[in-house]
Amino acid sequence: MPQNLTVGHLIRRLQTVNPGLPVRLAINPDWPFTHFIATDVVERDGVVFIAEDGQEGYLPAPVRDALNWT
């Protein structure tokens, strides 16, 4: 996946999964965590930003493995 993901590419990727599933943002500082995604979407200077809405907990090990974050 490209580093500069476009809105269109993200929409196409999301169309392949069940639309009723919750969405989480996986973040890997030193310990991988999951974060809630807020409804705030802001466009500035040609870039779209999706806000995070708090930390949920540790990223499950199978997800870390799939992302090669082990």
Q: What is the pLDDT of residue 66?
A: 92
Is 5 among the domain residues?
no
List the chain residues with pLDDT less than 50.
1
The domain total for the chain is 1
Is 44 among the domain residues?
yes
Rg of the chain on CA atoms, in Å: 13
Is 14 among the domain residues?
no
Q: What is the pLDDT of residue 2?
A: 55
Is 3 among the domain residues?
no
Q: What is the pLDDT of residue 62?
A: 93
Is 29 among the domain residues?
yes
Q: What is the pTM of this model?
A: 0.72
Q: What is the pLDDT of residue 3?
A: 67
Domain that holds residue 25: 21-66
Is 15 among the domain residues?
no
